Amino acid sequence: MRPLPDLLGRLGIGAKLGLLLAAFAILATGLTGYYSYSQSRNLLVNAAERELLTATQVLGRRLVVALAGVADDVRLLAQAPATRRVVQGDRNGGARDDLAETFSALLRVHPEYFQVRLIGAAHHGREVVRVDRDDGRLVRLDGPLLQEKGYYPYVFHTLELTPGQVYLSPIVINHEQGAHAGLNKPSLQVATPVAGADGQVWGVAVVNIDVNGLFDLLKADLPEDFWLYLTNERGDFLMHPEADLTFGFDRGRRVLVQDTYPAVQDLLDHKAKTVVTRGEQSVGPVPADAVAAFMRLPIGVPSEGRFVILGLSQPIQTVLAESRLLGQTTWQLVLAFSLLAVAVAALVSRAVLRPLNMLVAAAQRFSREHVMGELPLARRDEFGTLARSFGEMQTQIGAHLAELYESRSRLDHLARHDPLTGLPNRRFFTDRLEHAVATARRKGGTLAVLFIDLDCFKEINDSLGHGVGDEVLRETARLLCASVRETDTVARLGGDEFVILFDTVADPRDVALVAEKLLQRFQLPLQVADRSLVVQASMGISRYPEDGADAASLLHSADIAMYRAKHQGRNNYRFHDTPAWPAGEVPVAAPPAVE
């Protein structure tokens, strides 16, 4: 697998720009979605905390109201005339029966009451009238079943109170013998003194409350996922969704709320009245994180400073259940916007790179063809500025290239042509001759080379000057070019030596006729520097393949034939192999007179 830098290096700038834009868009969308989801979760948790705290406060007020109602009931019982007469020793059985019926009516109205009693101050706090709840029915105890209760705190503490005051006992497990339905159940005794007409306290009216039943009534309207806690002033659980954790002190162990929710310690230390915190719920087989709210609730006589801690909790996962749908919706939106971002990034990349691609295409075409392609010249942005600059650069480069091509063409022409006459030079002619020989050899054809040397040219240079000599050479070049076919090659080898290549020769007589024609033209005077000069030439002819198999040998053979013509009187021509020419068929011109 190729490393990522190599793969990115193979991508074009358009793909990289698109990926970069898409990455930024996806990152921004993802971060926005994550932030929104995270904030929504926090808002839900905060809302749940406020809701729990509000519900705890409402439940606390309801508990206070409920306990106040119990206190009103015991005050009403204590102030009833029948209660006062019975507690003062009225032996009238009818009064006791009426009072017992009143107790029964109260129990029927309040299913959360375990027991209603009237306890006298005399005889060690012996019960006077008592009605209990037992297995769904009401039971009145009388005679020997009445017990002495003077040693219980709810009796002797209440006897110390003034009439009208109410005593609330600590919430404990009721271990009193004969308590019927209240036996071994969490109980709360609410008691008040019973005074006679003289103000003397004669006894105590007591209502024994089923704590679980009381709180079942209080929490009836709470959602099912709200869990209720109640602790004493030391933090011991009195109520907990898991019953094994309640009243641990009654079984010789301590189960404290501050161990699960450390923030509750501030309530126990009177540093706060309410706290909202998080902890671990132990209800169920798997512990779960929970958000919880607690409040300190004073109970009993204010001077005693007694209180309970009331709390509610709710699992975080329940609180955040609504956020799951929000999370799914959020991530769906993130995905949709990410796909949209990719599409927009592709379009933006394409739009941004279009002028750049035009510049690249124009540069490539200019590099290949030296022709300017289409450029986004009308744009008013950086691409337009770059395009106009590139266009100017192309124009300048094109002009420089044209000059360079022209210079190179001139140099090439100078390298292959004679600067004086403009004819091909020896090198160019040799290349042409070699090519012609190769073609003739391949096709079985023939060709001929005519070597021309001006007669007495040195005397012209010496007598008339080199300027006149140069003009003579130029006029000779024009004469030779005018006397041959366009397919024939006329070249100057150097000095006063010229050569003509006939690359297609069907009959040797054709070359002889050209030589005759040239001799005749050389007899005519040349107009040079306002004077007429008669310039004559000696010529030699070589043929392929008879006189040479390559360019060098053909030139050498033609040169030998030319010198033979000079030695035989000049102003003449000869073939390299003169005997091979049929005698008398091609006349040799006589040297003409020189003017």
Q: What is the CATH number of the domain that holds 245?
A: 3.30.450.20
> Could you tell me if 187 and 92 lie in one domain?
yes
> Could you tell me if 230 and 82 lie in one domain?
yes
Establish whether the linkage from the previous residue to 582 is cis, with ω within 30° of 0.
Answer: no
148, part of any domain: yes
Query: In which domain, by residue range, is 376 found?
Result: 356-414
Looking at 319, 346, 367, the residue that finishes a domain is: 319
540, part of any domain: yes
CA distances from 448 to 95, 300, 507, 516, 562 (A): 168, 145, 10, 15, 14
> Could you tell me if 88 and 105 lie in one domain?
yes
341, part of any domain: no
> Could you tell me if 105 and 174 lie in one domain?
yes
Say how far residue 423 (Cα) sits from the centre of its chain.
72
pTM higher than the cut 0.85: no
Whether 142 and 160 have beta carbons less than 8 Å apart is answered as: no
> Could you tell me if 379 and 289 lie in one domain?
no
3-state DSSP assignment of residue 451: strand
> Could you tell me if 370 and 487 lie in one domain?
no
Q: What residues have CB less than 8 Å from 266, skipping those under 6 apart?
A: 272, 275
DSSP secondary structure string, 220-280? TTS-TT-EEEEE-TT-BEEE-SSGGGSSGGGGT---BHHHH-GGGHHHHTTS-SEEEEEEE
Whether 129 and 103 have beta carbons less than 8 Å apart is answered as: yes
Looking at 267, 300, 319, the residue that finishes a domain is: 319
132, part of any domain: yes
Whether 53 and 294 have beta carbons less than 8 Å apart is answered as: no
pLDDT recorded at residue 429: 94
Domain of residue 555, CATH code: 3.30.70.270
> Could you tell me if 435 and 542 lie in one domain?
yes
Q: 3-state SS of 11-80?
A: CCHHHHHHHHHHHHHHHHHHHHHHHHHHHHHHHHHHHHHHHHHHHHHHHHHHHHHHHHHHHHHHHHHHHC
Mean pLDDT of 369-382: 70
> Could you tell me if 106 and 231 lie in one domain?
yes
> Could you tell me if 114 and 262 lie in one domain?
yes
**Beta-carbon-side half-sphere exposure of residue 444 (alpha carbons within 13 Å):** 0
State the total domains in the chain. Answer: 3
> Could you tell me if 376 and 431 lie in one domain?
no
Q: Which residues pair with 574 in a beta bridge?
A: 540
Catalytic residues: 496
CA distance 29 to 148: 77
pLDDT recorded at residue 491: 95
- Residues 333-342 have pLDDT tens digits of 778 877 887 7
- 146, pLDDT greater than 80: yes
Say how far residue 11 (Cα) sits from the centre of its chain.
17
> Could you tell me if 200 and 272 lie in one domain?
yes
- Residues 465-520 have pLDDT tens digits of 988 999 999 999 999 999 898 889 999 999 999 999 998 888 888 899 999 999 99
Q: How confident is the model at residue 590 (pLDDT cuts 50, 70, 90)?
A: very low
Highest mean pLDDT among 132-136, 390-394, 413-417: 132-136
34, part of any domain: no
343, part of any domain: no
43, part of any domain: no
CA distances from 110 to 23, 59, 62, 103, 113 (A): 69, 19, 15, 11, 6
> Could you tell me if 383 and 494 lie in one domain?
no
pLDDT recorded at residue 565: 94
- 1, pLDDT greater than 60: no
74, part of any domain: yes
